[in-house]
Amino acid sequence: MKIAIVGAGYVGLVTGACLADFGHNVRCVDMDPAKIAALQASRIPIFEPGLEELVARNMAEGRLAFDTSMAWAIAGAEVVFIAVGTPSRRGDGHADLSYVYRAAQDVASELTGYAVIVLKSTVPVGTGDQVERIIQDQRTGMPFAVVSNPEFLREGAAIEDFKRPDRIVIGTEDEFAREVMMEVYRPLCLNQAPILFTGRRTSELTKYAANAFLATKITFINEIADLCERVGGNVQDVARGIGLDRRIGNKFLHAGPGFGGSCFPKDLSALIKTAQDYGSNCRIAEAVASVNDQRKRAMGRKVVQACGGSVRNKTIALLGLTFKPNTDDMRDAPSIAIVTALQDAGARIRAYDPAGREQAEAVLQDVDYAEGPYEAAQGADAVVMVTEWDMFRALDLDRLRLSMRAPILVDLRNIYTPAEAGARGFLYTGLGCPSEVTAPSLPQESLLALP
């Protein structure tokens, strides 16, 4: 099939490369000349494992191409994916749909025949209706269909997620558009990927509901981690204990410094705003957003406490800056709030991230960047594990400690255990780990009832 992708960012690039790898003829268009020039030279502007090789191979085999010309991309296309960004709108938290609507106008101006317009961007309920009106107004009498097809890609595992998805959600009431979308995803039928057809508005809401639910699981286990620290429990064992329940599952039950990235924060905000617009309550989502913001700031205080209550004029080494491993994405990363809190407390920050330095330099000020984890730890008063990159899972703890000024290890991802860190001479602080507990006092009447 001839497919056009509007937007060569993260979602558009992964979608285009994978569809080309299925055998489709894919043309990607983007209005950023520098980005297109880089892609035409097989230089990938984002970090995503396996993507550079996938793009280069399909370009070499003639199935994938990039340009800034919308007319070139749309000409003869049977399916047009709109995969532009929908960031949070400044001031009110709504999704900024200006890029989507501009793309719809540009696509409409170049249509010459029937095409299925697919909203791959994450958009609030009703956006498909508005896109349909935009195209109808510009191309009266032109046959077309607008379909919702949200992405469910994890940064760092996007290619695997696209080619072996848990599900493919397609929102349309148009029977012919349904047949076209089945042809687009026909190669995935070999993997027996479940395709769920819904109404368009249902599909749009499904994306937001999924991310809100995952964010809720993360926030829940983080609060349980705090409780474990107070009562002497172990959050990792609690997570295993509840995760073995098939109704709950073990995914997204790893305590950490809070969620970030390009999806969860903005999608949670957009869901809350949508609910408010329609007069519906989303109090759980509101609580999740609030608790997560507070947690990020609390992680800085946790480091200060581990350092004896003060970090003034101390050097704190951060290992990992991106919001998760296998990406260079710094959007809403917990490290931003942690660095800010520590700097406000008078600390000097030295950091290392395997892929995120360039992005981090754009959002973090007065940070010294090291070339590796041991270089970051050299002379440091504490080391803080912020992002669970694989290379941090088997560090030489003896070498790490001997390079430091003080043997303080704050592990915000529970990569190590208190026992193994303690055996290497570290003063270890993790999340939800057992600590000294003072039982709450019983009321006097309860004491009288004791035998």
Catalytic positions, written as ranges: 263
* Residue 149, CA distances (Å) to 171, 205, 210, 351, 447 in order: 6, 11, 14, 39, 62
CA gap 276, 352 in Å, rounded: 41
For the CA atoms of 45, 46, 48, 51, the dihedral, rounded to the nearest 10 degrees, stands at -20
- Of 25, 31, 24, 29, which is closest to residue 12 (Cα–Cα)? 29
Q: What is the DSSP letter of 189?
A: G
Check if the beta carbon of residue 77 is closer than 8 Å to that of residue 4: yes
Helix (H, G, I), strand (E, B) or coil at 45: coil
What whole-number distance in Å separates Cα of residue 336 and Cα of residue 45? 22
**33 CB-contact burial (10 Å; exposed 0-12 / middle 13-18 / buried 19+):** exposed
Instruction: For the chain, report the end-to-end CA distance as a whole number of angstroms.
Output: 80
Strand pairing partners for 411? Answer: 385
Burial degree of 62 (CB within 10 A; 0-12, 13-18, 19+):
exposed
Q: Closest Cα partner for 86 from 207, 210, 228, 238?
A: 207
Angle at 368 between CA 364 and CA 373, to 5 degrees: 110
181 touches 172 (CB < 8 A): yes
The closest of 165, 159, 162, 168 to 55, measured between CA atoms, is 159
> What b-and-e string marks burial along 67-87, b requiring 16 or more CB atoms within 10 Å of the CB?
beebeebbeebbbbbbbbbbe
